Amino acid sequence: MKKRLISGLLALTLLAPMAQAAAQSVPMKGSGAGSITSATPGPNGVAITAIGEGKATHLGRFTREEDILLDPVANTFTGTIVFTAADGSELNCNVAGGFTGPGIASGTYTFTGGTGRFVGATGTAFFSIVQSNPANFTFQFTGTIEMN
């Protein structure tokens, strides 16, 4: 009996890291609205900060804060976004995209970890943004996320 218990515990100990390594990519989809809170021209482009809120799979209801650098010559942008879920967990992502028409942009979110249940999260999502006026926009995204 004692041998079986020790063998069982040993097997669990050996299999636990394999189970953690077997995280799977799952679909992620969301949408929301936001507002630009500042836009500051500089030598490398326009530094934009924005806030937003919405709802997404794996996040539930969320808020988001973003820092974007817009290159007005190329009509492209890069930056970071922090999504904060209702439970306080944060999902970080890098963003890269460009304008495809007046007030219309698209690009990619690359998830880069976070806090709480998003520690070690990875994945990508494709997004689209539509400005309703110069300061307000709606967004939607779809992709995959892998959480440990």
Domain positions in the chain: 23-146
Q: Tell me what pLDDT residue 105 has.
A: 97
Tens digit of each residue's pLDDT (9 = 90 or more) over 111-142 = 999 999 999 999 999 999 999 999 999 999 99
Is residue 130 exposed (0-12), middle (13-18) or buried (19+ Cβ within 10 Å)? middle
Q: Quick one: tokens of 14?
A: 């050996």
Statement: the pTM of the whole predicted model exceeds 0.85: no
Q: Specify whether the CB–CB gap between 94 and 69 falls below 8 A.
A: no
23-146, what's its fold? Porin (2.40.160)
